[in-house]
Structure 1
C-alpha cells in the first residue's frame, strides 16, 4: 500500500490547455482522408490476422497452415473473401428478409465506428497540415466504445430472431446475454483508469501515461479487462454462442455468402477495437516503450513513429487471442456467466472504491487524518476502505463456504435416486454413476396402425414402450 501511495501521485493529470486533441488545423477533407485510411488499415489488418491465426495455430498443432495461395499463403484470406462473394446468397423462407439483411450491416458498421476515437499516434504532418493521428476526440470519448458495443448487440439478436429458426434464436439470446454481462465488468475496469487520469478523453489518457503506464497501478483492472474483452468478442474459450456441438453455429447459422462474411469481419474488427482500447488505456497508447523513449531525446516517440508502437502493442493482444484459441477448451456457459456476475462485477466494484479512496486521500478530499503504524504514516480513509473491503471479502467467502457445505451435506444425506426416469424433465437425460434407468411404461398398440396395414389381427396383442 505504501508503494502504491508513492506511485500514484506521479499520475496527476497533465496541465494541458485543451480537454481533448487539437483539431484546429484539420480541414473536413483531411478528416475524410483519415477515415478512409483507418478503414483501409482495419481491412488490411483483418486480412493479415486471419492468415496469422491460421499459421500460428497450425504451428501449435504441428502442421503448416495455409501455404499455397500466394507467398507463404498470404493471399489465402483474400481467396476466401472472393469465394464468399461468389457463393449463392440464400435467404430462409421463414426469415424476415429486411431484418435478416440489416443485422449483418449493423454488426459490421458498429465495429468500424468504435475505432474513430482511438489515437494511433501523436500530431503529424499530413498534406501540409499538423493534425493528430486520430479521427475524433471529445471529453467522454471512451464511453463511445461502450455505447457502440451496446448498439452492436442489436445485430446479434436481430440476426438470431429474423432467421426464423430455433437454433439461431437460442444462439442470439446466449450471445446477447454474454456480451451485455461482460460489458458491465469491462466498464468498471475502465473506471479505475478514469480516476487515475482524471479524464475520459483518449488523447488525455495517453498523455497522462508519459511517465508511467496505467498497467502498473491498475494491474487488477487490466486483468479484468483482458478477461472481459475475450468474452465480449465471443472468442475461445468463451465462444459459447457458437458452440458447434450444441448450437450448430449460433446466431448466424442460416447466413451464407457475404452476409456471413460481414459477421466474420465484425468479429475480427471488434478484436482490434478492444485490443486498441487496452493499448490506449493501459499500455501508453502510441508512446514508445520506456527503454526506447530514452534514446536520443524521444527521437522514436513522436509523429508517425507512434503508429508503429501502437500497432506492435495491439498485435501483441491479437497474439493472446490466437494463443488462447489454440490452447484452451470451451468453458461451460453457466459457469462463465456465474463467474461474470458473482465474481468479476462485485470484485471490480470493490477495486474501484479502493482506488477512489486512494485518489481522494492524495488530493486532500478527506483532510489530513493520518495514522502511524510501525513507523509509517497511512491516511485514515485508506485504512477504512481496506477494512471495509476486507470485511466484505471475508463475509462473502464465509457465506459461499457455508452454502457449499450445506449443499454437500444435503446431497450426502439424500443421495441420488437409484432409479431415475430419463424423460422426467421432458427430454432424455443420461443417468449418473450408480443410477439405473426406470423401465418405460408400455401402452397397447394396434399392429395394423404401426405397420400401415389393416390386418384383422387383434389390435391389443402387442405393446411398445412409451417415449
Structure 2
C-alpha cells in the first residue's frame, strides 16, 4: 500500500477502483506490446536479411506471436527427474513479475481526469521509485540463477552462473548512471533531488534542452544503454543463451508455458527498460502538444521515443556478433564502471558550482566522448588485425585423413551451396555452425562408408578441430612416407 500515494489520505472506493483499472490496463498494454515487439523484431530482422518473415497468421503476420503462445500453452510441461521441483517451477515467475512491477512505476502519459478524480497515467508513483527500480531489476537475477541451479543439468547451471556474474557486473554501471540522473533532477523551488519517476519527468518538462541526456553530458546515457543491454542479456551480450556452447542456456530444461514465461520476461524487460530510459533521459511523455485531445499527445510522444529504443535493440541484434565472455567482463569492470564513477564525481562537483556547470560539463563531455569513440575504434581495429593474423596462421589449406588436402580459398564459405569433392558422391557429413546462425550453410560431402568429415564454419575453424587437422596431416605424411619407401624398395 505504500507504493501508491492515493493511500496517504485515506482510502475511498472510487480511488481503489481507479487503481485496479490502472493495474489491469497497464498489464494488458504490456502484454499487447510484447506480442507486437516479437512480431516487430522478427519482421525487421527478416527485412535486414532480405527475407519475408512471418506472414501467414493474421494480416502481415501480426498474430504469429499469439499462435506461438497458444502452441506453447498446449505443449507438455516436463520437469527433469533430478531437478528441485519447487524452485524449478518458481524461477520463471521470479523473472516475469519484476518486469511488470518496474513498468508499473513508469509514467506513460500526462494527467487524466475521470469522475472528478485526477491522476497520472502510471500505476504507482512511490517516493523512492528509483530505488524500487534498482531493487526489482536485481530480483530478476534470482530467477535466472535458480532456473539453472534447479534444473539438475550442467548446461543450465553454466548459463545461470554466467547470468548472475554478468548481471551483477553491469548492475553497478546501471546504478551509477541512474545516480547521475538523480543528481541533476532537482525539485522545483528547492535544492533537493527527487527519487520519484514522475518528479524526474517534471524536472525535464521545461524544454528539450532540460532533458537529462543533455544535463548529464550524454556519457551516463551511453553507459546506461550499454549496461542495460548486457543486463537484459540482449545481443551482443547474450552469452547466457549462447547456443553454440550451452544449447539453450539457463532455460534448456524448460518447456511449455514455463519456457514461454522466460521468453515473455525477456521481451517485457526489453520494453520496460526502453520505457525507463525514456523516463530518465528523454523527458518521458513530454513534448510539443496541441489543443485537441491534449491527453493523447503525451502518450504518443512516449510511445514514439520507446519505439526508437526498441528498433535500436533489434538493429544491434541483427548487426553485431556475440562478444567473448572475457571481452564482456573487461568492458564492464575496466571501462563502464570506472568511467561512470568518475563522471558521477565530476558531475557532483559541477552541480555544486552552477555558475560554471554548463560550460565545463559540455567541454568535458566532448573531450570524454571523443576519447571513448577513439578507444572503441582502436579496439575494433585491433580485434580485426588479430582475427586476420589468426586466419593467416591457419594456413592456406586444411587436411583431413579421409579426403586429403582442401584449399580454403576455393571453398564457398557463405554461398550456401554443397561442396561436392572430386571423385566422391554422397556419404556422411557433419554440419558446421557459424556465429549468429543455428546451422552453417556450408556442407562438405565425403565418400560412403567413411567417418564424419570436419565441418568448415563461416566464422573460422574451432581450435579443437585445428588440432585434429594437424594430427591428421601428420598421419597423412607418415602414410605417404611409407608408400614412398615401398615404391623405392620395389
TM-score range relative to shorter protein: 0.7 to 0.9
SS of 1:131 mapped into structure 2: strand
Q: Give the aligned partner of residue 459 of structure 1.
A: none
Asked whether 1:205 is paired with 2:200, we answer yes
**Corresponding residue SS for 1:136:** coil
Alignment correspondent of 1:64: 52
Partner residue of 2:38? 50
Deviation at 1:213, TM superposition (A): 1.2
Selected match of 1:180 from 140, 151, 168: 168
Q: Is the Cα contact below 8 Å between 2:147 and 2:250 reproduced in 1?
A: yes
Structure 1 position 307 matched with structure 2 position 299: yes
Verify the 8 A CA contact 2:75 2:256 in the aligned structure 1.
yes
Asked whether 1:359 is paired with 2:351, we answer yes
Q: Distance in 1 between matches of 2:471 and 2:335?
A: 37
- 8 Å CA contact 1:161–1:169 kept in 2: the answer is yes
Q: Does the 8 Å CA contact 2:6/2:15 hold for their aligned counterparts?
A: no
Q: Distance in 1 between matches of 2:126 and 2:59?
A: 43
Does the Cα contact within 8 Å between 2:236 and 2:322 map onto a contact in 1?
Answer: yes
Deviation at 1:217, TM superposition (A): 2.7
Preserved CA contact (<8 Å) 1:22 1:132: no
Find the aligned partners of 1:75 and 1:66 in 2 and give their Cα distance.
Answer: 9
Distance in 1 between residues matched to 2:52 and 2:137, nearest whole Å: 36
- The answer to whether the Cα contact below 8 Å between 1:124 and 1:304 also exists between their aligned partners in 2 is no
- Deviations 1:292-318 (CA, angstroms, capped at 9, x unpaired): 34x66xx67x52321221111111111
Q: Which runs of 4+ in 1 moved over 4 A?
A: 20-26, 428-432
Residues 1:350 and 1:107: Cα distance change in structure 2 (over 3 Å): same
Q: 2:91 aligns with which of 95, 100, 103?
A: 103
What CA deviation, in whole Å up to 9, does each residue of 1:29-88 have, x standing for no partner?
Answer: 110110000000000000001011111111101111000111111111000000001111
Say which SS state the counterpart of residue 110 (structure 2) adopts. strand
Q: Which residue is 2:221 aligned to?
A: 222
Partner of 1:141: 129
Q: Distance in 1 between matches of 2:144 and 2:72?
A: 20
CA distance in 1, matches of 2:87, 2:229: 27
Cα shift readout 1:239-286 (whole Å, capped 9, x = no counterpart) = 010000001110000000000000000001101111011000111101
Contact 1:119 1:134 in 2 (8 A): yes
Written as runs of structure 1 = structure 2, the 5 A alignment for 1:343-422 is 343-362=335-354
Distance in 2 between the 1:79 and 1:242 partners?
24
1:449 aligns to what?
none
| Greater Cα offset, 307-316 or 60-69 | 307-316
Which of 160, 177, 184 is 1:196 aligned to? 184
Distance 2:194 2:118 in 1: 24
1:325 is matched with: 317
User: 2: CA distance between counterparts of 1:21 and 1:132?
Assistant: 11
Structure 2: distance between partners of 1:22 and 1:222: 32
Q: Verify the 8 A CA contact 1:276 1:314 in the aligned structure 2.
A: yes
1:220 CA displacement: 0.7
Equivalent-residue separation in structure 1 for 2:68 and 2:465 (angstroms) = 41
Structure 1 residues 102 and 22: alpha-carbon distance in aligned structure 2, compared to 1, 3 A threshold? closer
By how many angstroms is 1:103 displaced? 0.4
Structure 2 match to 1:342: 334
The 2-side partners of 1:206 and 1:65 are apart by 38
Query: 5 Å matches for 1:20-99?
Result: 27-99=15-87
8 A contact 1:168–1:252 mirrored in 2: yes
Q: What is the aligned residue count?
A: 366
Cα shift at 1:431: 6.5
Question: Aligned partners of 2:6, 2:295: CA distance in 1, in Å?
Answer: 14
CA displacement at 1:362 relative to structure 2 = 1.8
Give the Cα separation in 1 of the matches to 2:65 and 2:125.
Answer: 33
Deviation of 1:140 after TM superposition, in Å, equals 1.7
Deviation at residue 128 of structure 1 after TM alignment: 4.3
Q: Contact 1:51–1:77 (CA<8 Å) still a contact in 2?
A: yes
CA distance in 2, matches of 1:100, 1:268: 21
